[in-house]
A and B are shown apart, each in its own frame.
Chain A
Amino acid sequence: MTDASASPVSPAAAPSAPSSLYEQSSRTKKRNASEKRFRAYGLTAIAVGLMSLVVLLISILGNGLPSFKQTYIVMDVELRADVLDKNGNRDPADIAKVMTFGYTPLIKQAAQAMVQEMGSDIEGLTDKMIGDMISKEAAGQLRNYVMKNPDMIGTTQQFKFLANGRIDGYFKGRVTMESAALDGNVTPEQLMAADEMAAAGYMTTAINPGFLTAPDASDQRPEAAGLGVAILGSVYMMLVVLVLALPIGVAASIYLEEFAPKNWVTDVIEVNISNLAAVPSIVFGILGLAIFINFAHLPQSAPVVGGLVLTLMTLPTIIISTRASLKSVPPSIKDAALGVGASKMQTVFHHVLPLAMPGILTGAIIGLAQALGETAPLLLIGMVAFVREYPGMPPEGLFDPSTALPVQVYNWTQRSDPAFFERASGAIIVLLVMLVLMNLVAIILRRRFERRW
């Protein structure tokens, strides 16, 4: 049909003037200039991005790192038997009758004794001021100690109490003599006393493990507030998300990608999955509130509900990334497997899935990271509550009230005491560290599963 007809070779149009390779034509110059401009745009964009990142890190680290340290007051407290165990029989039930309220005078007296011993002569320093320098948490700490060691009643022991948030702020530079003069919660006299105590070695600044382990604390004692419950809650939720979203998401994407017939039904499903990925997360919160709490009557503030809501939110992300990585497996591998007589399922599970694994894991961990940082849906299902009790061990613990890291950040930024702002920044650092760790896991897993083909 198409006989190769030899068309006459037309001579190339002769250039009008001989051009030198050393001279760039105006066209070349234009092209080079536009390439240079494009590179400059790209570099600028990257530079702006990097600078924002650096500013962000500096501000967060600057604001948040101090929260990992705390000011402590070391003092000897006499555990007076006439106050703590009036009957003198060391019966735990009797000791338990003395509430924290009963311990406060012991601490105040001990503090006053300490100031006297230092020979301090600060004008206007009242006994009440001295007592207020110690955190309100101290009474509880002392009571816990006595409950555990009833034999120590009647002796004098050394204790390390948290200093009041304002005193702590003074050593971190947040509170100054000038600001203290205007502050109803702290006086310049207290700060002077704090200076003397620090000089005498009674007041020290040390790493505060309680920030990571302790539960949240009330508005009056920012120094005692910690992330323990929030971290546990977040970890529990991630467990729920991992256990639910990964298998469901991977199974759904394998079915959609490899087995489902391509017709309008699957098209509709596909479009809707993509749309779900773009739905604002707070909508999932309302959905969770309606379904899991109002309809299924699961407990409020429970990590299991948070995990379920976040699973719904993460599923589209996991499905989309899993499908993309399944698609990227070369069809020649599928052909090869089918060609030796493997069934469709054997082809998928023996050949396609292992090759898609790095992509699937990356997608899953990106989804998890997204879920870890999510606040809005958790507000709606009650995880914003003030929780001081640690949730128990899973699986029962999944139903205990708890809170989550991003919610804790949100919560702390709402409080008036500036000490909570510092702690919110510290919590952000913890959140970022967790995200970095998860990404690290993603990278390690990807390296392990990565194979050439």
Chain B
Amino acid sequence: MNDMRILERDVTTNTIKFAGRDVHVFYGETEAIKGIDVDIEDNTVTAFIGPSGCGKSTFLRCLNRMNDTIDVCRVTGNITLDGEDIYDSKVDPVQLRAKVGMVFQKPNPFPKSIYDNIAYGPRIHGLAKTKADLDEIVEKSLRRGAIWNEVKDRLHAPGTGLSGGQQQRLCIARAIATEPEVLLMDEPCSALDPIATAQVEELIDELRANYSVVIVTHSMQQAARVSQKTAFFHLGDLVEFGATNEIFTNPKDPRTEAYITGRIG
């Protein structure tokens, strides 16, 4: 974290974290994802862009099996995390989700205190042996969530009493408190004002040092600002996937060009 030069150089490690091969997702009869291949690298921010209903959130939710909670949802194909098939019958989705944290579109803190919001994950995963350990995790997470200074005096106030932007940063802090390896963010800034958005974006950039971050966004400017890799989804297809500056300056597919120039979507 202290070595900011690494971030500035836009260096990616080229370690593949997630690999998807021929992934199809069905909601009942409807095919929401039509067979996509994607490699998501470690220590990289990958942005998913595309018009509404193109399947980017659906694919994101495949990565930590949140789609399991939807009865009619069916995933075929192969998604691996560090080479292990996450849809293997031996995999417990609960264990997977501890490794792959998620931040949602709407800030959704638990109706508990700020402290308990952060401490919940470490508690159920047994990450802290003593109260002091837990206090330390809470402080570290809140610091990494860039919200420590705002809440350090009211850790036992309800998390729902914070402003929208603070709540979202609290949710990010909650997601990183369980020490995940990948952080999935589903339009984390759609409910936030520009100032809070800027804070969250800055935070995402910092998180890249430790995590692989996947972010779904409707804002192309945001994708351009925070990501190193961009994937453009359209009608369930992965149309184009590449380095962010390539996608935005020199798109290969006419549909990508139409989207980023505002002609479709």
Interface residues of A (CB under 8 A from B): 1-4, 261-262, 330, 332-343, 346, 350-351, 355, 451-453
Q: In the assembled complex, which residues on chain A have CB atoms less than 8 Å from the CB atom of B124? A: 340-343, 346, 350
List CB contacts (< 8 Å) of B141-159 with chain A.
158
* Residues on the B chain within 8 Å of A262, using CB: 71
Interchain CB contact under 8 A, B66 and A336: no
Interface residues of B (CB under 8 A from A): 64, 66, 69, 71, 94-95, 97-98, 101-104, 106, 108-111, 120-121, 124-125, 158, 160, 171, 174-175, 177-178, 263-264
Which chain B positions have C-beta within 8 A of A335? 66, 69, 102, 104, 108
Known: A3-B263, A453-B160. A338 touches B66 (CB 8 A): yes
How far, in whole Å, are A1 and B175 apart by their CA atoms in the complex? 38
Tell which of A2, A346, A453 touches B111, judged by Cβ atoms closer than 8 Å: A453
B69 touches A340 (CB 8 A): no
Measured CB to CB, the closest approach of chain A to B96, in angstroms, equals 8
Besides the contacts A333-B108, A341-B95, what 7 more A-B pairs have beta carbons closer than 8 Å? A2-B264, A3-B263, A338-B97, A340-B98, A340-B178, A341-B98, A341-B121
Select which of B69, B174, B178, B264 is within 8 A of A1 by beta carbon. B264
Which listed residue, B109, B111, B125, touches A341 by the CB 8 Å rule? B125
Contact of B66 among A332, A339, A351 (CB under 8 A): A339
Instruction: Report the minimal beta-carbon distance from B244 to chain A, rounded to whole angstroms.
Output: 24
Closest B residue to A351 using CB positions: B110
29 pairs from A and B in contact (CB 8 Å cutoff): A2-B264, A3-B264, A261-B71, A332-B106, A332-B108, A333-B111, A335-B102, A336-B174, A337-B110, A337-B120, A339-B104, A340-B97, A340-B98, A340-B101, A340-B121, A340-B124, A340-B178, A341-B94, A341-B95, A341-B97, A341-B98, A341-B124, A341-B125, A341-B178, A342-B120, A342-B124, A346-B124, A351-B110, A453-B160
Identity of the chain A residue whose Cβ is nearest the Cβ of B105 in the assembled complex? A332
A58 CB, min distance to chain B CBs, angstroms: 45
Chain A hits for B171, CB < 8 A: 336
Select one of B95, B160, B174, B263 contacting A340, CB under 8 A. B174
A343, B104: Cβ atoms closer than 8 Å? no
The 4 lowest CB-CB distance pairs between A and B, nearest first, are: A341-B98, A340-B121, A332-B108, A339-B102
Query: With contacts defined as CB atoms under 8 Å apart, how many contacts are there between chain A and chain B in the complex?
Result: 75
What's the Cα separation between A452 and B174 when bound, in Å? 19
Chain B residues near A333 (CB, 8 Å)?
108, 110-111
Give bound CA distance, A334 to B108, whole Å. Answer: 9
Residues in A with CB closer than 8 Å to B71 are 261-262
A1 contacts which chain B residues (CB < 8 A)?
A: 264
Per the bound structure, the CA–CA distance linking A333 and B111 in Å amounts to 9
Q: Complex Cα distance A339/B71, Å?
A: 17
> Is there an interface contact between B69 and A338, defined as CB atoms closer than 8 Å?
yes
Contact residues in A for B97 (Cβ distance below 8 Å): 338-341
Q: Which residue of B lies closest to A332 (CB)?
A: B108
The residues of B that contact A342 with a CB separation of less than 8 Å are 94, 120-121, 124
Which residues of chain A are within 8 angstroms of B101 by Cβ–Cβ distance? 339-341
Q: Complex formed: what's the CA distance from A341 to B65 in Å? A: 11
Chain B minimum-CB-distance residue to A354 = B111
**Cβ 8 A contact of A452, one of B66, B111, B120:** B111
In this complex, what residue of A is CB-closest to B234?
A1
Chain A nearest CB, measured from B8 CB (Å): 31
- Contact assessment for B94 and A4 in the assembled complex, using a CB-CB cutoff below 8 Å: no
Q: How far is the CB of B2 from chain A (nearest CB, A)?
A: 27
Q: Which residues of B contact A339 (CB under 8 A)?
A: 64, 66, 97, 101-104, 175
Q: Which residues of B contact A334 (CB under 8 A)?
A: 69
How many Å lie between the Cα of A453 and that of B106 in the bound state?
Answer: 12
Q: What is the distance, in angstroms, from A35's C-beta to the closest C-beta of chain B? A: 36
A4–B261 CA distance with the chains assembled, in angstroms: 12
Residue in B98, B103, B110 whose Cβ sees the most chain A Cβ within 10 Å: B110
